[in-house]
Structures are given as structure tokens and as C-alpha cells.
A and B are shown apart, each in its own frame.
Chain A
Amino acid sequence: MRYHCAKSFSEAAEIAAGAPGITRFLAGGTDVLVQLRSGLVTPDDLIDLKQIPGVHDISRTPEGGWRIGVAVSGAELGEHAGVKADWPGVVEGMGLVGSTQVQGRATLAGNLCNGSPAADSVPGLVAAEARVTVIGPNGAREVPVEEIPTGPGKTSLGPGELIAAITLPARGAAGGDAYQRFIPRTEMDIAVVGCAVNLTLTGETIAAARVALGAVAPTVILVPEAAAAIVGTALDDAALEALAAAARAAASPISDKRGTAEFRTHVAGVLARRVAQAAYARAKGDTK
């Protein structure tokens, strides 16, 4: 395995494009090192991105959103008062990835590129309409976050392509987002089901919403039917029931060691209800 410490994204892309074998980018390393250690994936070339200028930065975009560098750790994100105030659901999703120790290393971009349908940070990003900056041999492009994962362990990134940053849009007024997951323990597990809801209010009424589910399909999925079930309502019981039903209808999970398909489908509805209520409370300014 050759270790490269890239000084710029173009250098990283160039090394990757020219590498003949298996290539991995190293941001937080919490997935790459586990795969390396277990012998699952031993890259021929490992390209460390952490020395590239700006990758540790979180900055305001001209539109009033946030641009989060590729090497910003979960711990750094969780300590950023600005992002936390605007997008608490995104921050709490990332905060659930692994232990305190893993938070010291793991990154949003890494969690996304690992391609796991159960990735805790991804539903929140999808619900928030986050976009990613992809840099490759042919320059940079902007992509909606949900277009990156294409299946378990797979992404739409081409050879030599890598993520440089993740951009969250401006929060805007009367908005709130939230993420919760179901796990058998209190910590340290992979999500059996995850759900993020992002919504904005006009008065008491939900004006717009996005609902994303994790671990119930080959990728994190956006569920427009679930959003439609609550838009135009004040999240009354009927709306919550319709939301739960839509979330369950959208779920097409597998049964595995972490949960049965039946259980996942049921819990998708339970979580959708709970998370929508949390996001709604935040939008109203009741809680953070």
C-alpha cells in the first residue's frame, strides 16, 4: 500500500486517476482503516486529504448556508454553534456515528462515501437538501447529496473523483430538522432504521417538508409521499398516522442480523412520527 499526502484536490484527483489498482481517500479513516485491518480492502494507493488547505473549515456561503470541509470531524461539527443552530438534525445525525473516539475522526463525507444505507448522517443531509462538491480529473461539479450513494458500499463517484465539501442551504425562517435512529442498545450500533425530517412552517401549518429514511432500502431514500402527508397540516394525529403509513409504504428493507424486514417497516413509521414531532417543535422554536 502506497500512502500519499495530497496538498491539493487536483493533486489528489490526479494521483487517483493515475493509480492502477484499488484507491481509497483518507479523511477520517474510520471505515477505511477497519476495512484495511480486516483484510476486506487493502488499497494499493491511499490518498490522505487532511493536509489540503481548507478541508477542516466550516464557512458561511454567500446564500447563508454552510460549507463543510471534507475533513471536518463529527466532533468539530458538533462544536460549531452556527451549524448546530441552523441544522440540528444534520448535526445530531453525524453525532450518532460511532463513539466519542470515532467522532474525533469520522467525517460527513466519509459517512456518505461509505455508501451504507444505514449511514446516520445521510438522511439528515438528504432532508436538508445538501449538495456536495465533487472534484475529478475533469474539474468540479455540484451534486445533490442523495445522488452520491447508489447501493450498499457503492457511489456514483467516477475514477479519480472525490468530494471536496458538503454544502447546506440557508436555513430560512420557521424551519426545523431532526434525525433519530432505532438501535437495540443506546449507543455504538448501526441504525436498524433511521429517519430525518426537515420542515418549514407558515404559522402552525407545515409549508414544506422533506422526509428521508435510512436502512430500509439499498440507499438512504427521500420519501415525498411521507412529506406530502404532513404538508398543509399542523401535524395533527391524522397527519402523523398518514406520515407513518407513507413511511412504511416506502420502506422495502431486508431481514438481516440487525433486524427483520417486518420490524424495520414498522419502526420506520414509529420513527417518522417521532422525528416529525421533534422537527416541528424545533421549527416552532419550542426546543433546539
Chain B
Amino acid sequence: MSKIHVSATVNGDPVEFLADPRETLLDCLRDHLDLTGSKEGCGTGDCGACSVLLDGRLVCSCLVLGVEAEGKRVETIEGMAEPGGELHPLQRKFIEHAALQCGFCTPGILVASKALLARNPDPTEEEVRYWLAGNLCRCTGYDKIVRAVMDAAADLRGAA
């Protein structure tokens, strides 16, 4: 089975890789680009651990083929902090609120939360919960995650 050459932009950097057409974008990020921050928890779009932004739109990278990334902009957890290392307020608040236990769902939840705050800087608790309904967390009961997102939103509003 021949592979297809793909050119894309990942976290602002140009990348190229060869993808088997059956490989998902998640496979390509993890196996071809060594970006293992996006996780596979289900492979069926039910857990959100592989969340990335594709041309600015929040998607499960397990439900996108690698070949579909041709010419597109992909943003992953690895691109969330500033290039110099300064954390995004969401990342800071997740540590501060102990919003992670095992941390496996954390990259996907951070990416999804960032997409939420970009479109809704002042979400209610209910809006946060429904937006993140596709991001499963088995450790925390979501309490501290929701609090961290709300607090980061307040922080970002204050900074704006």
C-alpha cells in the first residue's frame, strides 16, 4: 500500500510526512512527528484525549485521516505554551487547582478548553460542562477541571 506525502503546519511549523491512507491524524502526529502529547483513549471519538485544532476548529484527531491534513493548520497541546515556555493561563490554572490526577486526559481537555474560551470568554459552569462532555476524565469527577477552566477564563478576561 503506497503512502501519501502530506505537507501541513503544526503548531506554526511546516511539517511533511508520509501517511498510509488508513492512518489517522493522531497516528501521524504521534508516530511520524513524535508529538505524543495527543493521546488515544478510544479511537472512536468518544473520549476527546486526542483533541486538536484543525484550521482553528476543535476536532478529535482520531476521526481525521492524516492525508486530510494536507495544506491545513494543526494545533496540539505541544503548541499551547509560549515558545519560550511561558504557560497558557489554562495550563497554570490546571496545576494550581489540581485539575489533573493521572493527567492522561489533560492535553485534550486543555486544547478543548482553549477552543471554548476563544469563542466564549465568560462561560457558565453549565456551558463548560457541556462543551467538555466529549472529554472523558475518570479520575477527577470533573469538579476541579471545571473550576480551573472558569478561573482561567476570569484570568484571561482580567488580562484583556
Contact = CB atoms under 8 A, between A and B. Distances in A.
Interface of A: 1-3, 26, 29-30, 33-34, 36-38, 42, 46, 48, 50, 73, 75, 98-102, 104-105, 186-188
Contacts of B44: 34, 37-38
B58 interface: yes
Give the interface centre of B131, B132, B133 by most chain A CB atoms within 10 Å: B133
Interface in B1-17: 1, 4
Contacts of B132: 100
Given A1-B1, A3-B4, A29-B65, A101 B59 contact: yes
Interface in B103-151: 112, 115-116, 130-135
Contacts of B45: 30, 33-34, 98-99, 101-102
A46 B21 contact: yes
Contacts of A186: 130, 133
Interface stretch (B28-36, B46-54, B74-82, B87-95): B46-54
Contacts, number: 85
A105 B63 CA distance: 8
Given A1-B22, A42-B22, A101-B51, A37 B59 contact: no
Contacts of A101: 45, 48, 51, 58-60, 63, 112, 134
Given A42-B22, A48-B68, A100-B58, A187 B63 contact: no
Nearest to A3: B21
The 8 closest A-B pairs by CB, nearest first: A99-B134, A187-B133, A3-B21, A104-B59, A101-B60, A104-B57, A34-B44, A33-B63
B68 A102 contact: no
A37 B24 contact: yes
Nearest to A101: B60
A46 B132 CA distance: 31
A100 B112 contact: yes
